[in-house]
Amino acid sequence: MSEAGGKYRRDMGTLGVLFIVVNGLIGAGIFGLPELLHGAVGGFAPWLLLVGGLLVMSIVLCFAELTRLTDRSGGPQRFVTDAFGRFAGFEVGWTFYAARMLSQAANSAVLIAYAAAIWPVLGDGIARGTAIVTVLAALTIINIVGIRRVVAALGAMTALKLVPLILLALVALVASAAPGEVALPRLEAVEGIALATLYAFVGFENATIPAGETREPRRAMPRALLIGLPVVTLLYFALQWAYSASPIAGSGPEAPVVELARLHWGDVGALLIAATVVMSVLANMTAGHTSASRMTPAMADDGLLPGWFGRVSRWGTPANSIAFFGVGSAAFALSGTFAGLAAISTLARLLAYIGSIFALPRLRRGAGLTALTPTIVLAAPVALGLSLWATFQTTAVMWQTLAAFALVGAVLFALARRAR
């Protein structure tokens, strides 16, 4: 399962993959989550995040094993294709890709909305549309001219968004009173907030997609996955602990992390964290653009899409696919048709998890390895149970929408097969 021809430049190392993991996990959600969690389970909120991180680690362990088995791009699409055939792999890849394009459109709208809170002129009209197009065009261009430049940009954005959050958590923890006794919450309270907690930990799988542009991906990707999730979990834990121990916890602020910064640093601190939110969303979009735009060339390399999607630029990147993703995201963002559809991104991601986990034993046997290891025996049942549980928390509309996308994909697959 090696990259045929090695046509892409492998310019990304472990650190670059780690940046994609971290920024795939940390978007805008964590900035609004602390008050939601505290209101539901009180002082147990930090520990709930810790439990959530540990449970999601079961999925990450499975993906770490999967990335050791191939150096080809595609992530979940690659795993399912190699294990269960072209049609199953195409459907996973197609629905994941379409959902990510809708999600990117939604994220661009969220980014400009946060930016407008700092610079109101971006709030509507031509300025808003221009800002959306400018951001997506910049992400497209930087991806085309080389993944090394993406890694450099992600490194800078990661520092700019993590440093203020780490400093805020430390300052708030030092200033807070000693924590009181933590009482276990009622089961129904945990059930009501469990899905929101889980969603704070999804997005790591983005880092597995650009394997074909990664140096020694069988080593770099498992390392980045197994480092990235614990780092993010500890940051979530510290930030939630600091918030729950603060006097504003439970007061119902719409932007709890911003208000926590205002409490300790005044209006300047609130403005700093507001800018950090913008940077966090931008970094999340950058990581998403880099990964999702590599899904279509992986399918083109397998003959599942026209070869146009797999053409390589002089910088060694799949330029056509990157540009197509950027234009499609901008079109959805400007038209507003992504509203309500972006939610299927979560369902598509969960189904990709389930397909990939089921693929793991089969791929190991195909590589001449034992189907199961102690890690897989312990992690896979938890990972499957968690993913299946989360899929049953979705709505019928989400399933119907995803089924419509899958049906379109089936038609495209049949047409491509007939053309071949």
Query: What's the burial of 65, exposed, middle or buried (CB within 10 Å: 0-12/13-18/19+)?
Result: buried
Query: What's the burial of 166, exposed, middle or buried (CB within 10 Å: 0-12/13-18/19+)?
Result: middle
Give the model's pLDDT for residue 339.
66
- Tell me what the mean pLDDT of segment 176-189 comes to: 70
On whether the pTM is more than 0.75, the answer is yes
Task: Give me the residues paired with residue 12 across strands.
Answer: 214
Tens of pLDDT, residues 46-68: 999 999 999 999 999 999 999 99
CB 132 within 8 A of CB 148: no
368 SS3 class: coil
Per the model's pLDDT, the better-predicted residue between 1 and 347 turns out to be: 347
Per the model's pLDDT, the better-predicted residue between 358 and 113 turns out to be: 358
- Tell me what the mean pLDDT of segment 183-210 comes to: 85
Residue 308: how many CB atoms within 10 A of its CB?
Answer: 12
Give the model's pLDDT for residue 162.
93
12 SS3 class: strand
Give the model's pLDDT for residue 343.
75
Name the pLDDT band for 5 (thresholds 50, 70, 90).
very low
Give the model's pLDDT for residue 179.
57
CA dihedral 44, 45, 48, 49 (to 10 degrees): -150
Name the pLDDT band for 305 (thresholds 50, 70, 90).
confident
Residue 358: how many CB atoms within 10 A of its CB?
Answer: 16
What's the CATH superfamily of 10-419?
Amino acid/polyamine transporter I (1.20.1740.10)
- Tell me what the mean pLDDT of segment 377-400 comes to: 91
Secondary element (H or E) of residue 233:
helix 217-244
Name the pLDDT band for 125 (thresholds 50, 70, 90).
confident
The rounded distance, in Å, linking the Cα atoms of 115 and 121 is: 9
CB 366 within 8 A of CB 135: no
Give the model's pLDDT for residue 196.
84
- Tell me what the mean pLDDT of segment 408-412 comes to: 85
Tokens coding 110:
């969220």
> What is the DSSP-derived secondary structure letter of residue 214?
B
Give the model's pLDDT for residue 420.
66
- Extents of the domains making up the chain: 10-419
Give the model's pLDDT for residue 4.
45
Q: Of 183-197, 284-298, 354-368, where does the model show the most confidence?
A: 354-368
Termini Cα distance of the chain = 22
Per the model's pLDDT, the better-predicted residue between 137 and 122 turns out to be: 137
Give the model's pLDDT for residue 334.
87
- Tell me what the mean pLDDT of segment 335-344 comes to: 73
Q: In percent, how much of the chain has pLDDT > 70?
A: 96
Q: In percent, how much of the chain has pLDDT > 90?
A: 52
Task: Give me the residues paired with residue 214 across strands.
Answer: 12
Give the model's pLDDT for residue 3.
46
Give the model's pLDDT for residue 180.
59
Secondary element (H or E) of residue 132:
helix 125-144
The rounded distance, in Å, linking the Cα atoms of 360 and 376 is: 9
